Structure 1
Amino acid sequence: MARPSCLLLLIFFSAFLALLPETTQLQSSQAWTLLKIQQLLNYPPMLSHWRRGTDFCGGGGGFLSPSVSAAVVCYGDTVTQLHIAWLPDLKVLTLSGLGLWGPLPGKLGRLAALEIVNMSGNYLFSGIPKGMARLAGLQTLVLDDNMLGGEVPAWVGALPSLAVLSLRNNSLRGPVPDSVGNMPALRSLVLASNNLSGNLPDLSRLRNLQVLDVGGNSLGPAFPKLGRKVVTVTLSRNRFAGGLPPELSTFYLLERLDVSWNRFVGPFAPALLSLPAIRYLSIAGNRFTGLLSDKTPCGDNLRFVDLSSNLLLGSVPTCLRSPDRKPDAVVLVSENCLDVDSSDGSQHSSPFCQNQALAVGIVPGKQRKNIAGQAGFVAGIVAAIVIAVLIVGFMVFFAVRKASVKGAKARAPAMLVDDNSSTSNGYPSKLFADARYISQTVKLGALGIPSYRSFSLVELEAATNNFENSYLMGQDSHGEMYRGRLGNGIPVTIRTLKIKRSQTTQSFNRHIETISRLRHQHLVSALGHCFEYDLDDSSVTQLYLVFEYVQDGTLRSRISQGTEGCKLTWGQRISAAIGVAKGIQFLHGGIVPGIYGNNLMITNILIDQNHVAKIGSYNIPILAEAMKPEVDQWKGGAGAGSKFQTDSPMYSDKSDIFDFGVILLEVVSGKTITSMYEVEILKELMQWAIADDDRVRRRSFADPVVRKGCSDESLRTVMEICLRCLAKEPAQRPSVEDVLWNLQFASQVQDDWEGDTRSSDGSPVSSSSRVVRSSRLNLSR
C-alpha cells in the first residue's frame, strides 16, 4: 500500500469485547481475547509488545503500542475500542459467528495478501462488494449463513486462485454467471439455499471441481455439464428436468449424488448403484421409470439409497435388502410400484406407475409389449373365426397349390435350408426364409457351441419364463438383456432390440449374415436370432439376439477384485491375454468386413469354467446402427468406440489395440483402472520399472499376488508389449499379430521357467539359459 491506513473492519472486535461484563474479574478474559486476536493476525510486528501480563487498560485510559499502528481504548476496566492499522501481510481473516451486522466492507480488498476469508454466521447484508475483486491471491471465500443479496458477481470468475467458494444460505438471486465456468483452481462450489435461477454454466472445463452443491434454489431445467472428477453433486429441490445424462454412470470418483425432488423423468440407470465410490444416492421425488432387477449389483461403499416417490417397477436389488446389505446402510423405496411387501401401503400397483408414465409422456417398453400381446390375442381370435368360415374354400385352394409348392422347394438353393430352425411361427415366409440364410462354414460344433439357428418367440418366452422380471439383467432405451435356459438345458443371454421401421429387409439379411459368423472360441458367440412382427403390416418390430452365457465372472473379478484364493496366476493371466488377442484378431480379419472399435474393457472380458477368456462385448453392426451414440456395455452387446481413446477411422484397428493395452496394464499391475488419468500414471510407473535392467524394480510394479511366481523375462516381455500398445500415436502401436507373438513368447518362457524351477527345487533358472531360449524363439519367428 502507498501509505498506512486504518483497518476499520477490525473495530468489529470492540463490539465483541464490549459484550463482556464491566468488572475487574473479567479483565483476564479480555486480555486473553486480545492475545487471541494477536494469534489470529499471525503475530504482526505492531503487536509484538503484547504479552500475557500486559495491562491493556492501565490507568483506565488504554494501551498504546510503541508503534502508532495499534491502540486499545478502555472505559474503566472494559475494552471498548481496538484500532489496528496496516496489515499488508495478513493472509487469513476469520470472523465467523461473531454476530457482525451491516454491509460487507469493500475495503477488505486493500488487504492484498489475503488468501482465506471466512465471515460465515453473521448478519451481513447487501451484496458482495466489488472491492474484493482485487484479492488476486484469494483461495477460500466462505460467506455462509448471512443475509447477502443481489447476484453472484461475475468478477468472481476472474479470481485466478479461488479454490473454495461457499455462499450457502443467503438471499442471492438471479443466474450463476458464466464466468464461474472459467475458474481453473475451483474445487468446491457451494451455492445452496439461495434464490438462484436459470441453467448452471458449463462446468465441464473445471478440471479440479470436486464438490457442487446448489440444492434449494430454482435452478434448471438442464442438467449441468460436469467433469468426471466430481466427488459430490447435490442438485436437490430445484427445477431440473428431463433425463439424467448417460455419462453419469462413468463418474467413477462420484461418492454422493442427490437429485431428489426435481422434475426428472425417463429411465433410471441401475449402473449408478454400482459405481465403485458411491456412498450416498438419492433420486427421491421425481418421475424416474424402468425395471429394477434383484440381480443389479451395488458398490461396496454404498450406505444410503433413496429411490422413493418415483415410478419404478420390478424387484428391489438383492444387494439392497437385508441381510445382504451393510448393517449401517439405509434403503428407502416407498411410493413406487416395486414387488415388495406393500401391506403397509408403501407401494402403488403396477398400473399406477404405467398410467403416470403415460401422463408425462414416458411409455415403458414393457407396457407397449403387453399392449401388443393383447392385440395379438384379439387378432388371433378374429383370425380363427375367419379361418373357420372359409376353411372349405381354402381346402380347394391348397389342393391346386400343392404341386407348385413342391416344385418351388425342389428348385430352391440348398443354402436356404436350415434343418435346426423352427417353421411354426406363422411369420411371413419370404422374410423368414431369407433371414435364416446361414453359411454352413460357421457351424463350429467342435467348439462345443450349438449351431446358429433361428429361434421362435415361444422358445425364448419359455427360456425366460415369459420374460419375467427376475430374469432381467439390464435395460436401456433400446431394449433389455435377459438370462435364460433353453429347452435342452443350455444357458443363454437374450438381447432384445427395438427395430426402426426405416430399416429394410435387405439390411436385416446382411446383419443376420454377419451375426451368424460371430462364432469363435474367444468370443461370447451368437447362437441365433428371432424376429417379432407387427400383426397389421407384418413389419419387423423387435429383434431378439441369443448368445452363449458365460457365468464364471469377468477378468477383472479374477485379478483386481478377486480373493487371494481365486485370483489368476501369472501363467493363467498370459493365457487369458492371448485369448483376448486371438478374439481381436478374429474380429479384425476372421470375417469380412472386419469389426473394429469394439469398446474393449476388462469388465467385458468373461472367464469360463476352464479359464478361457471370451470377449463379451463387441461392435455388432445392427446394434451399433440402432444404438448410436450410446455405448452398450452388456455381455454380448455392441460397443461404439474406445472408453479411453478415440482414433481416426484410418486407424480404427489401433483403437482396439490401445484398449487391449489398458487391459494388459491391469493384468500386470493388479490395480483397478477407471480413468485415462490412472492409465497415464501406471504407464509412467511401468516405463520407470523397465527403464533399467533392475529385476526388483520390475517386480515391485507387478501384482503382489503373482510377483513371486513369474519369470522376469516373461514379465518384461508383457510389460514391453503393453507399453507399445499404449503409444499415443496410433501408427506406433503394434499389429495384433505382433501382440500375439510376444504374448506367446512370454507364455513359453514362463512355462520353461516353471519347469526349471520345479526340477531344481525352487531355484530360478539362470539368466544365460533364458537368453538362449530367447534367441532360439526369435530365430524361429
Structure 2
Amino acid sequence: MTIAMYLVVLWIPVWVFTVSLHFPPTIARSIASISSIDPEEQTIAQFTGQMEAYSPGIPGVRVEHHEELNKRILVALIVASTLLVAILLLLFSCYVSKHKNLKTFKERSQQKQKQKPEESAKGLSLGPIVGRFNSLRIAGKKGGVAAIEYQLLEAATNNFHESNILGEGGFGSVYKALFDEKSHAAVKRVEVKGQDAEREFENELEWLRKIQHQNIVSTLGYCIHGEMRFLVYEMMQNGSLESQLHGHSHGMALSWHRRMKISLDVARGLEYLHERCNPPVIHRNLKSSNILLDQNFNAKLSDFGLAIASGATSKSDIKLSEREGYVAPEYLLDGKLTDKSDVYAFGVVLLELLLGRKPVEKVTPTQYQSIVTRAMPQLTDRSKLPNLVDPAIRNKMDLKHLYQVAAVAVLCVQTEPSYRPLITDVLHSLIPLVPVELGGSLKTAETLPQGHTEPSQR
C-alpha cells in the first residue's frame, strides 16, 4: 500500500496541471484574481455586468455559460483521473501477486532438487501407474499399451537386481517388479544388439496392442531407454510351465486336473488366435517356457515376438531352433508355417504334461532325441502307457481319460500337417476331461478310479 499511496501523490500535480491546461484563459484569470476583489467592488461589478447585459448595442458576457462548461470539464477530469489511478493500482497488485507466486515456485523447486533421486522418481510417476495397475485388476486390459518411465522400472526392480530375476529369455531377462504392496508385475528386459531383437520387440508390442483374451498375458506397458527395451506384464505368480515341470519341484504342484486345466487354457488361447482374430494369428513360438501360470494355475500365452498373421513365410525369417523340440517338420523341410504348426507345438506341450519329460533330451554328447520320437511307439500301446506317465501323477487319473489325452497328443504331432486336427477340435476334445469348477464339463466324482483321491484345485 505504500507504493500505491506514492503513485497517488505523484498523480495529484499531474492532475492539477491537466486541469489548468483545459480551463479557458479568462476563467483561469478570474479564479486567480477572486481573492483580491473586495465585497463592495464585487457588488459593483455584478451590477455593472447586469447593466451591460441589458443595455442595447453592448455585447453581453454569459458568465453562467462558462461556469457550466467548467463544471463539466472538471467532472470529466476527475472521473478520468480516478479510473487511471484504479487501473494503476490493479496493475500493481497483479505484479505483486505474480512476484509472490514466482518466489513460491522457486522455493518448491529447490526443495524437490534436494530429495533423493529414487524418491523423486517414485513421487513423479508412481501414483499414475499404480492407479493403472489397480484399474486393470478391475476392468481388464483396454485400449493401447502405456509408456512407462525408466526411473519407475529401475526403482520397482531394485535397479534390476539379480535377486529379482524370474527367468531368462533369448534376448534378455524377466524381473519381478514391486510398485507398491499390492501392485506387482513382471518386467521383460531386452537388450537390442541387432535387428532381430529390435524387430521382435516391435512385433510383440504391436500384437499385444491388438489382442485381448483371458488366456493371453496382459501387457501393462513398455519402455524404451537407450538400447534397452522393456515390456511390463501382469505378474504370474507360479512362473512358467517349464519351471513347474522341469524345475526343483519336478511337477509335484501339478495334479492331473491342473494339467488338464492348463492344456485347456492353452487350447483356448490358440483357438482365439486362429479362429477369432482377423486376420488369424500364428504364435509360432509356443513352448512350455512361454506358457505362464498365475496364482490359481490359470495358463496364459506369452512372448509374441515371432507371431505373424496367418499365411506362408520363408524359412529365413523364422528364428526357431530344432533342438527345442517344438518345431513342426514342414518348417524344417521347406520353411512353411501355418496354424497347424502351432497345433504341432501344442501336441509337444501336451506330451510334456503327460510324461513330465523335456521336449528334447541329450542321449549322447552329440545326439539329441525328441520326446515325440522317443514316446510315439508307446503312446498307442495301452499296456505300456500307464508306466510312461510322469511319476508325480501316475495312478492318479482315470485310465480312460489318460488314453483319450494320449490320442489327442498323437494326432497333434503327426508329421503330415493335414492329419493334424484344428485347434477347435482339440479344444472340444479336452473340455469333457476338465472338472466343471476348473472350466470344463466333467463332474469331479466321475474322474477317479475307486480308492484314489484328487487334491483340492482351489
Letter paired with 1:745? P
> Could you tell me whether the CA contact under 8 Å between 2:326 and 2:359 is conserved in 1?
no
In the alignment, which of 216, 220, 230 is matched to residue 544 of structure 1? Answer: 230
Shift of 1:662: 1.0
- Spell out the pairing of 1:292-371 with structure 2 (5 A cutoff): none
Structure 2: tracts of 5 or more residues without a match: 1-121, 126-134, 309-315, 362-368, 454-458
> Could you tell me whether the CA contact under 8 Å between 1:599 and 1:641 is conserved in 2?
no
The aligned residue for residue 680 of structure 1 is: 373
> Could you tell me whether the CA contact under 8 Å between 2:292 and 2:300 is conserved in 1?
yes
> Could you tell me whether the CA contact under 8 Å between 2:260 and 2:434 is conserved in 1?
yes
Distance 1:476 1:746 in 2: 33
**Pair 1:562–1:509, CA change in 2 (3 A):** closer
Shift of 1:562: 6.1
The aligned residue for residue 699 of structure 1 is: 386
> Could you tell me whether the CA contact under 8 Å between 2:215 and 2:268 is conserved in 1?
yes
The aligned residue for residue 576 of structure 1 is: 262
Distance 2:193 2:359 in 1: 36
Q: Deviations for 1:246-278, whole angstroms, at most 9, x for unmatched residues?
A: xxxxxxxxxxxxxxxxxxxxxxxxxxxxxxxxx
> Could you tell me whether the CA contact under 8 Å between 1:597 and 1:655 is conserved in 2?
no
> Could you tell me whether the CA contact under 8 Å between 1:518 and 1:526 is conserved in 2?
no
> Could you tell me whether the CA contact under 8 Å between 1:522 and 1:613 is conserved in 2?
yes
> Could you tell me whether the CA contact under 8 Å between 1:457 and 1:530 is conserved in 2?
yes
The aligned residue for residue 454 of structure 1 is: 147
- 1:612 to 2:298 alignment: yes
Letter paired with 2:218? S
Distance 1:570 1:708 in 2: 10
Q: Deviations for 1:138-184, whole angstroms, at most 9, x for unmatched residues?
A: xxxxxxxxxxxxxxxxxxxxxxxxxxxxxxxxxxxxxxxxxxxxxxx
Distance 1:736 1:599 in 2: 16
In the alignment, which of 353, 357, 368 is matched to residue 671 of structure 1? Answer: 357
- 1:521 to 2:208 alignment: no
Larger radius of gyration: 2
**Pair 1:489–1:563, CA change in 2 (3 A):** closer
Shift of 1:737: 0.3
Q: Deviations for 1:562-620, whole angstroms, at most 9, x for unmatched residues?
A: 65893322222111100111122233344444432432222332322212122243335
Distance 2:203 2:249 in 1: 45
In the alignment, which of 394, 403, 407 is matched to residue 716 of structure 1? Answer: 403
In the alignment, which of 599, 605, 612 is matched to residue 285 of structure 2? Answer: 599
> Could you tell me whether the CA contact under 8 Å between 2:203 and 2:305 is conserved in 1?
no
Letter paired with 1:726? V
In the alignment, which of 223, 248, 265 is matched to residue 530 of structure 1? Answer: 223
Letter paired with 2:412? C
Distance 1:508 1:664 in 2: 28
Distance 1:719 1:475 in 2: 31
**Pair 1:445–1:742, CA change in 2 (3 A):** same
The aligned residue for residue 108 of structure 2 is: none
Shift of 1:738: 0.5
- 1:490 to 2:183 alignment: yes
Distance 2:442 2:452 in 1: 13
Letter paired with 1:465? N
Distance 1:563 1:502 in 2: 37
Letter paired with 2:219? A
Q: How many residues align?
A: 300
Letter paired with 2:346? F
Distance 1:586 1:562 in 2: 33
Identity rate, percent: 28
Greater fraction of residues in helix: 2
Shift of 1:681: 1.7
The aligned residue for residue 445 of structure 2 is: 755
Letter paired with 2:370? Y
**Pair 1:570–1:512, CA change in 2 (3 A):** closer
Letter paired with 1:550? M
Distance 1:579 1:528 in 2: 24
Distance 1:673 1:509 in 2: 29
- SS of 1:709's equivalent in the other structure is coil
- Spell out the pairing of 1:475-486 with structure 2 (5 A cutoff): 480-486=173-179
Distance 1:757 1:586 in 2: 28
- SS of 1:576's equivalent in the other structure is helix
Distance 1:658 1:631 in 2: 14
- SS of 2:376's equivalent in the other structure is helix
Q: Between the two structures, name the one with larger relative contact order (CA 8 Å, sep ≥ 6).
A: 2
Q: Deviations for 1:201-257, whole angstroms, at most 9, x for unmatched residues?
A: xxxxxxxxxxxxxxxxxxxxxxxxxxxxxxxxxxxxxxxxxxxxxxxxxxxxxxxxx
Distance 1:673 1:641 in 2: 5
Instruction: Give the CA RMSD over aligned residues.
Output: 4.5
Q: Deviations for 1:673-718, whole angstroms, at most 9, x for unmatched residues?
A: 32443321201110223xxxxxx54433333443433223222211
- Spell out the pairing of 1:106-145 with structure 2 (5 A cutoff): none
Letter paired with 2:175? Y
Q: Deviations for 1:448-469, whole angstroms, at most 9, x for unmatched residues?
A: 6698422122222221233345
Distance 2:203 2:247 in 1: 40
Q: Deviations for 1:502-541, whole angstroms, at most 9, x for unmatched residues?
A: 99xxx999864432234432233211112336xxxxxxx5
> Could you tell me whether the CA contact under 8 Å between 2:201 and 2:305 is conserved in 1?
no
The aligned residue for residue 156 of structure 2 is: 463
> Could you tell me whether the CA contact under 8 Å between 1:669 and 1:702 is conserved in 2?
yes
> Could you tell me whether the CA contact under 8 Å between 2:357 and 2:371 is conserved in 1?
no
Distance 1:596 1:718 in 2: 23
Query: TM-score scaled to structure 2, two decimals?
Result: 0.53
Distance 2:175 2:266 in 1: 25
Letter paired with 2:234? E
Greater fraction of residues in strand: 1
Distance 1:752 1:509 in 2: 41
The aligned residue for residue 272 of structure 1 is: none
Letter paired with 1:606? L
Distance 2:186 2:379 in 1: 38
> Could you tell me whether the CA contact under 8 Å between 2:379 and 2:406 is conserved in 1?
yes
- SS of 1:610's equivalent in the other structure is coil
- SS of 1:529's equivalent in the other structure is strand
Letter paired with 1:671? R
Distance 2:277 2:378 in 1: 38
Distance 1:481 1:603 in 2: 12
Shift of 1:652: 2.0
Distance 2:182 2:319 in 1: 33
Query: TM-score scaled to structure 1, two decimals?
Result: 0.33
Distance 1:740 1:583 in 2: 10
**Pair 1:604–1:509, CA change in 2 (3 A):** closer
Distance 1:500 1:701 in 2: 43
- SS of 2:225's equivalent in the other structure is strand
- Spell out the pairing of 1:598-677 with structure 2 (5 A cutoff): 598-619=284-305, 630=319, 642-643=326-327, 645=329, 647=331, 651-675=337-361, 676-677=369-370
Letter paired with 2:445? G
> Could you tell me whether the CA contact under 8 Å between 1:668 and 1:702 is conserved in 2?
yes
